[in-house]
């Protein structure tokens, strides 16, 4: 039989936690699979929703910001600018919205079953990644339509994708743990998402922000991530501010480690407080 | 000690209950100020320990468990019993790592699977097939394990025809069967089960108990919490009795169960004067005894006696002291009186204090509560005295397997009778032999046993 010995004690940090995460790795897949399946059952529109959502938003933004407000696109079709900005943003905001309430929504699991709780917010990021991949297909179609070919900068795409995923993980860790104790955060999150949509360079290029404010602006971790993603996808036509990217990396790293720390610290009390 | 798989030492768990005072605040300003103060305190505490709270009159500490210690050896089956609120579920939660103890430690050797609720993780929108995978994964099975056992699980749950319909279309019985089927096929070294057998119909409960016995026989360690003493007796060889968070006793199942049942209710019930008297008779007390000990929970397989203490104030000629028993459904199960098989003293009643008793044979009555009405009447003419439901006893079946079905049958009683079977050669029209005449002792056996 197995010889793993487990000691449960008040206040004892689980050295086994990371091994447990590996042992329960299939749960990442299953929770994500469940959320995706449930989302598309009984909806008439079904899978098409993953396509329609980014498409419709792109159309609206292009018309409002490109045609009506006439914001500059710096040499790329406005639609592509918007779409390339929307993909990472939607990954982040979907993960944040679903992730912040995941523990509360799954409270029956939290109080009755043991599994490393970190799996819950991470699986919501996985679900958002799936949506993201579908939207990438749309982006590819549009780039073909506009005859804009990606350049060598495409090689940096995995890196910037990782940056966005890290930012999403950081947000979900913090918010899901906070929402367990302070249910008010459920109302705070939609506001952050709305606010963030206009503050981050989703519908416009961050070059319109005046130079002197650029560094402060980059404190928003999504600025560097979205800019970088856009640059990677659309090639050197869109300029990128490297200092902004580095600030973004720093902020995301700090938020992610803080988020994981806070989550692990409060995790023990979840079943009692939820 | 090398084969001890669970060793708990002084486990304690404290919960903090907040009492939100509903006192009407005088002014809005007061409400806002006190809310702001509370919020300030909470924010400050958010970055210290999240589960501790300062001494605050609106917070009460409750110790759900206090210094609980016990051992379980490999292959052992431990039943955990106790009244509601004794701390059984909290103990299981700590063993399952769902919540942390406040103090103490437990060392566990081996993989633990907990069944604290059936159907955890079931989603009504998904089909039965999808839910089997989901629930199995949540309980800790890998995808390949689930695939291997899929057919067994479906066969156990008997929902083959509905595998591809959404779970919300299932009846609650089907859902429970499916949930237990998945859980029953877990293969852990240590299985922890919390009162989940209290669902489903009788046939299903029997199946579940059987499956748990197979698991236990396979050398696994089982911890079982239940209120069904029959199931505990069948499945577990050792038991732990908890009361208000502390261990009362631990040891051989029969003894621990007996201790639990004894303490469950007060046994001797003195009666209220006003109700229990009239000019002719005053009822003083009633009592039930089995195996020489007073008891309210009686083993239905053994005889028990009812004692009635009363005072005859005025002699009524041809009076009979009777007791009528009814069950929880209100059906009269039987009635008995001291005139049926009378003694000298009953035939010629004298004034004075008396203790009358009768013995009910075992292997006759059904399990469940019985309420006895004590009265006195005149040979079936008029009732002189009556006290309704003054005797309250409950019969239980000590062994839950083959005999439990008898108690579920129609009928007010469930006698355990001796059947005989003999092959019949062609003997023309000879009438069959009456077994009670051939073996004349069997009739008396029924009363003696």
**B120 contacts A113? CB cut-off 8 A:** yes
CATH class of B65-259: alpha beta
Q: Are B312 and B324 in contact (CB under 8 A)?
A: no
Give the model's pLDDT for residue B47: 63
Look at residue B417 and give its three-state secondary structure. Answer: coil
Give the model's pLDDT for residue B53: 47
- Which residue of B lies nearest to A113 if distances are taken between CA atoms? B98
Interface size between A and B, measured as CB pairs under 8 A: 115
User: Any idea what DSSP says for residue B426?
Assistant: -
pLDDT tier, A119 (very low <50, low <70, confident <90, very high otherwise) = very high
**A7 contacts B107? CB cut-off 8 A:** yes
Walk along chain B (449 residues) and give the pLDDT tens digit of each residue: 458 889 999 999 988 877 665 554 445 565 667 677 777 777 776 666 555 444 455 667 888 898 999 999 988 899 999 888 888 989 999 998 888 898 899 999 888 888 888 778 888 888 999 999 998 888 888 889 899 999 999 998 888 899 999 998 988 778 888 888 888 888 788 888 887 766 667 777 777 778 878 887 888 888 989 877 777 887 888 999 998 888 888 988 888 887 787 665 433 333 333 344 567 788 888 889 888 888 878 888 889 999 999 888 888 777 888 898 887 777 788 999 888 877 766 667 788 888 889 999 998 998 888 888 888 887 767 777 778 778 888 888 877 655 667 877 878 888 888 899 988 876 555 566 666 665 444 444 444 44
Task: List the domain boundaries for chain B.
Answer: 65-259, 269-396
Question: Which of B50, B108, B182 would you mutate first to test chain A, the one with the most A CBs within 10 A?
Answer: B50
Q: Which of B139, B143, B189 sits opposite A2 (nearest CB)?
A: B189
* Residue B286, min C-alpha distance to chain A (Å): 45
Q: Do domains B65-259 and B269-396 have the same CATH topology?
A: no
pLDDT at A222 over 70: yes
Give the model's pLDDT for residue A213: 83
Interaxial angle between packed helices B128-139 and B172-184, expressed in degrees from 0 to 180 and rounded to the nearest 10: 40
**B109 contacts A109? CB cut-off 8 A:** no
Residues of A in contact with B46 (CB under 8 A): 181-182
Give the model's pLDDT for residue A167: 95
**B121 contacts A108? CB cut-off 8 A:** yes
Q: Which residues pair with B358 in a beta bridge?
A: B306
Q: What's the rounded mean pLDDT across residues A237-265? A: 89
ipTM: 0.82
Question: Which of B129, B137, B143, B196 would you mutate first to test chain A, the one with the most A CBs within 10 A?
Answer: B137
Q: Give DSSP secondary structure letters for A118-132.
A: THHHHHHHHHHHHHH
B63 touches chain A (CB under 8 A): no
Q: How far from each other are the two terminal CA atoms of chain A, in whole angstroms? A: 36
Q: Where are the alpha helices (DSSP H) in chain A?
A: 17-23, 25-40, 48-61, 78-105, 107-112, 119-145, 157-181, 185-199, 211-217, 221-234, 242-267, 270-273
Give the model's pLDDT for residue A88: 93
Give the model's pLDDT for residue A249: 93
Higher-confidence position of B16 and A238: B16
pLDDT at A107 over 50: yes
**Half-sphere exposure (Cβ direction) of B333: Cα atoms closer than 13 Å:** 22
The pTM of this model reads 0.68
Read off the pLDDT of residues A88-106 as tens digits, 9 standing for 90 and up: 999 999 999 999 989 988 8
Q: Are A51 and A40 in contact (CB under 8 A)?
A: no
Residues of A in contact with B137 (CB under 8 A): 26-27, 30
**A268 contacts B51? CB cut-off 8 A:** yes
Give the model's pLDDT for residue B427: 59
Read off the pLDDT of residues A135-172 as tens digits, 9 standing for 90 and up: 898 888 888 888 888 878 888 899 999 999 999 999 99
* Residue A23, min C-alpha distance to chain B (Å): 9
- Span B269-396 CATH architecture: Distorted Sandwich (2.70)
Q: Where are the alpha helices (DSSP H) in B279-400?
A: 344-347
User: Any idea what DSSP says for residue B109?
Assistant: E
User: Cα–Cα distances in Å, from A219 out to A200, A250, B284, B331?
Assistant: 11, 9, 85, 79
**B134 contacts A8? CB cut-off 8 A:** no
Residues 29-48 of A with CB under 8 A from B: 30, 33-34, 37-38, 41-42
């Amino acid at each position: 039989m197995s010889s793993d010995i487990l000691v449960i004690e008040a206040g004892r940090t689980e050295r086994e936690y990371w091994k447990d995460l590996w042992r329960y790795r299939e749960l990442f897949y299953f929770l994500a699979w469940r959320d995706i399946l449930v989302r598309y059952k009984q909806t008439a529109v079904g899978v098409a929703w993953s396509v329609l959502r980014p498409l419709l938003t792109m159309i609206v933004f292009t018309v409002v910001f490109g045609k009506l407000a006439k914001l500059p696109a710096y040499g790329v079709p406005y639609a592509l600018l918007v779409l390339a900005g929307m993909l990472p943003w939607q990954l982040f905001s979907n993960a944040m919205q679903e992730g912040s309430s995941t523990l509360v929504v799954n409270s029956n699991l939290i109080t009755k079953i043991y599994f490393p709780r970190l799996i819950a917010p991470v699986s919501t990021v996985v679900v958002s990644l799936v949506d993201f991949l579908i939207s990438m297909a749309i982006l590819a179609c549009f780039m073909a339509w506009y005859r804009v070919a990606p350049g060598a900068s495409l090689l940096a795409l995995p890196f910037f994708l990782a940056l966005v995923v890290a930012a999403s993980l950081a947000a979900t860790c913090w918010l899901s743990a906070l929402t367990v104790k302070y249910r008010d955060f459920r109302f705070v999150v939609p506001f952050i998402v709305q606010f963030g949509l206009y503050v981050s360079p989703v519908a416009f290029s961050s070059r319109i922000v005046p130079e002197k404010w650029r560094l402060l602006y980059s404190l928003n971790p999504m600025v560097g991530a979205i800019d970088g993603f856009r640059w990677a996808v659309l090639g050197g036509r869109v300029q990128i501010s490297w200092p902004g990217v580095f600030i973004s990396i720093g902020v995301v790293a700090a938020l992610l480690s803080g988020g994981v720390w806070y989550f692990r610290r409060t995790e023990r009390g979840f079943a009692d407080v939820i | 000690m090398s084969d001890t798989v669970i060793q708990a030492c002084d486990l304690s768990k404290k919960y903090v209950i907040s009492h939100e005072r509903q006192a009407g605040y005088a002014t809005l300003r007061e409400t806002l100020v006190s809310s702001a103060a509370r919020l300030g305190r909470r924010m400050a505490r958010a970055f210290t320990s999240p589960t501790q709270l300062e001494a605050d009159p609106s917070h009460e500490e409750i110790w759900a468990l206090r210094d609980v210690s016990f051992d379980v050896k490999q292959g052992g089956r431990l039943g955990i019993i106790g009244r509601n609120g004794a701390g059984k579920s909290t103990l299981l939660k700590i063993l399952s790592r769902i919540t942390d103890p406040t103090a103490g430690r437990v060392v566990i050797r081996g993989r633990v699977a907990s069944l604290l609720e059936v159907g955890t993780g079931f989603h009504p929108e998904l089909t039965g097939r999808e839910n089997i995978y989901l629930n199995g994964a949540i309980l800790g099975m890998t995808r390949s394990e689930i695939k291997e056992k899929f057919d067994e699980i479906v066969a156990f749950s008997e929902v083959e025809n509905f595998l591809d319909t959404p779970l919300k279309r299932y009846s609650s019985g089907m859902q429970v069967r499916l949930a237990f089927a998945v859980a029953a096929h877990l293969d852990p070294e240590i299985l922890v089960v919390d009162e989940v057998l209290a669902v489903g119909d009788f046939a299903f409960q029997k199946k579940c108990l059987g499956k748990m016995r197979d698991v236990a026989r396979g050398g696994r360690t089982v911890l079982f919490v239940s209120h069904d003493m029959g199931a505990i007796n069948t499945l577990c060889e050792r038991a732990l009795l908890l009361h208000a968070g502390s261990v009362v006793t631990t040891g051989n199942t029969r003894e621990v169960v007996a201790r639990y049942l004894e303490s469950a209710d007060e046994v001797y019930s003195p009666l209220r004067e006003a109700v229990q008297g009239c000019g002719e008779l005053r009822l003083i007390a009633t009592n039930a005894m089995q195996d020489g000990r007073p008891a309210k929970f009686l083993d239905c397989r053994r005889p028990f006696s009812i004692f009635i203490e009363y005072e005859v104030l005025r002699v009524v000629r041809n009076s009979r002291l009777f007791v009528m028993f009814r069950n929880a459904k209100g059906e009269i199960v039987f009635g008995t009186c001291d005139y049926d098989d009378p003694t000298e003293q009953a035939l010629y009643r004298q004034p004075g204090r008396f203790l009358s008793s009768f013995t009910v044979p075992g292997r006759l009555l059904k399990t469940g509560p019985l309420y006895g009405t004590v009265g006195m009447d005149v040979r079936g003419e008029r009732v002189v005295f009556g006290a309704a439901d003054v005797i309250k006893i409950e019969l239980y079946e000590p062994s839950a397997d083959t005999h439990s079905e008898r108690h579920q049958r129609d009928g007010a009683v469930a006698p355990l009778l001796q059947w005989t079977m003999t092959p019949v050669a062609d003997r023309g029209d000879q009438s069959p032999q009456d077994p009670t005449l051939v073996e004349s002792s069997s009739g008396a056996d029924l009363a003696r046993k």
